[in-house]
Structure 1
Amino acid sequence: MSKENTPNTQERCPECGSALAFKSGKRGPFLACTAYPDCHYTKALHHGDGHVVKALGVACPACHQGELVLRQGRFGMFIGCDQFPQCTHIEKPDEPDHTTLTCPACHKGELVERTSRYGKRFFACDQYPKCHFAVNAQPIAGTCEQCGFALLVERKKGGKTVHQCADKPCSAIQGESAAESESED
């Protein structure tokens, strides 16, 4: 028996009777039979439904028996019934805030404000998954003086707010050549 298959629990496999060992995979921790590859038994240690962060004190509109709770799931925060899996009610997240800026990559969609699963704010094209354009800083209407890209972003640099090209290969700070020529005089 290899070190990796050393049993570290008292539980037994319901299929073959061998000991179970803790493993870690891309979907989280699980128990696996130490008789693998002869036995393929696994048991997830979490259910993927998200752990409860806060009870909201509002009755579930679907089952009228449960209460709505705020959960932290695999893809971020969401509101669902505390009677899951009997009730699968989930509230739709708020609609993203639309900007009036057209996506510079596909020229069809608009940039919308979104929140990552870690709570970070970013702006992405509303035509996703057809268009994958996204920026982490506040987008500003304008054209890059250096490369002509049709979007700028607002960043803090050296205690000042500067406008920078949203095209990652360029990333030129706008008005920098004018500021350098003033400082030389």
Structure 2
Amino acid sequence: MSRHIDQQLFSAHEHALDEVESCPQCGSELQLRHGKHGPFWGCSAYPACDYLRPRHQHDGHIVKALGVPCPECGHELVLRQGRYGMFIGCSDFPQCHHIESSAPPKTEQPREVCCPECNSGQLVERKSRFGKTFWACDQYPKCKFAINAPPVIGQCSVCGFPLLIEKKSASGVTLICAARRCGHVQETE
């Protein structure tokens, strides 16, 4: 049995690579290169020109139109895929910068906890780019205090640090000193 390979497939692929994009900084040709974080487009005039761009950009492309008007400008809200996951944004971006989280709103009111390090900021709940929840000072980058468990207002009985963290386990809830050097487990009544 004779198998025939269609040579047009190879030539079509080669022509797709013939489309040459020029560097926006110097006008030279961009080349596909490979680095430790994956493929990227780099300027052929490197090192004279250091322009580079990721091959696959997480630029907030539209996944789905939602049919709901934007509360700021009235254009339609859309579901977008960004660098840190899905989010809801205005279809009139960049003229309108309205963004909403795709997560449902929390019903619990946030507790106001003063930052124990700078004493001027408040600890606010945040999400890492991997989806993990943490609490950090809202005065960042001046204050870099952050904890990975919910904060509890209280004072450590050993070192006197003015903040405790709440750890949940199978045996129940435990309060632990939020000071990194201490870590004392508090006695619970």
In structure 2, the residue matched to 1:167 is: 179
| Count of residue pairs brought into register by the alignment | 164
- Of residues 124, 140, 154, the one that matches 2:166 is 154
Whether the 8 Å CA contact 2:70–2:76 is kept in 1: the answer is yes
Q: How far 1:121 moved relative to its partner?
A: 1.9
**2:125 equivalent among 98, 113, 116:** 113
Query: Is the contact made by 2:89 and 2:98 (CA closer than 8 Å) also made in structure 1?
Result: yes
Q: Which residue of 1 aligns with 2:78?
A: 69
Partners of 1:99 and 1:89 lie apart in 2 by 31
2:153 is matched with which residue: 141, 153, 170?
A: 141
Deviation at 1:29, TM superposition (A): 4.3
Corresponding residue of 2:4:
none
2:62 is aligned, of 52, 60, 64, to: 52
Matches within 5 A, 1:4-19: 10-11=17-18, 12=20, 14=22
- 1:136-180 per-position Cα deviation (integer Å, ceiling 9, x unaligned): 11111111112111100010245332100111121111129x9xx
> Could you say which residue in structure 2 is the equivalent of 1:123?
135
Counterpart amino acid of 1:154? Answer: E
CA distance in 2, matches of 1:16, 1:109: 48
Q: Which amino acid aligns with 1:136?
A: N
Q: Give the TM-score of the pair, scaled to structure 1.
A: 0.65
Structure 1 stretches lacking a partner, 5+ long: 1-8, 179-185
Equivalent-residue separation in structure 2 for 1:38 and 1:105 (angstroms): 45
For residue 10 of structure 1, give the secondary structure of its aligned residue in structure 2: helix
1:123 Cα deviation from its structure 2 partner? 1.5
Superimposed CA distance per residue, residues 85-114 of structure 1 (whole angstroms, 9 cap, x where no aligned partner): xx4322155799642321111112222222
**Counterpart selection for 1:91 from 75, 98, 101:** 98
Change (3 A) 1:42 1:159: same
Aligned with 2:59: secondary structure? coil
Partner of 1:79, secondary structure, is strand
Using the TM superposition, give the Cα deviation of residue 34 of structure 1 relative to its aligned residue in structure 2, in angstroms: 5.2
User: Does the C-alpha gap of structure 1 residues 50 and 151 become closer, same or farther in structure 2, counting only changes over 3 Å?
Assistant: same
- Could you tell me which runs of 5 or more consecutive residues in structure 2 were left unpaired when the two chains were aligned: 1-15
The aligned amino acid for 1:88 is Q
TM-score, L = length of structure 2: 0.64
Shift, 1:44, TM fit:
4.9
SS in 2 for 1:102: coil
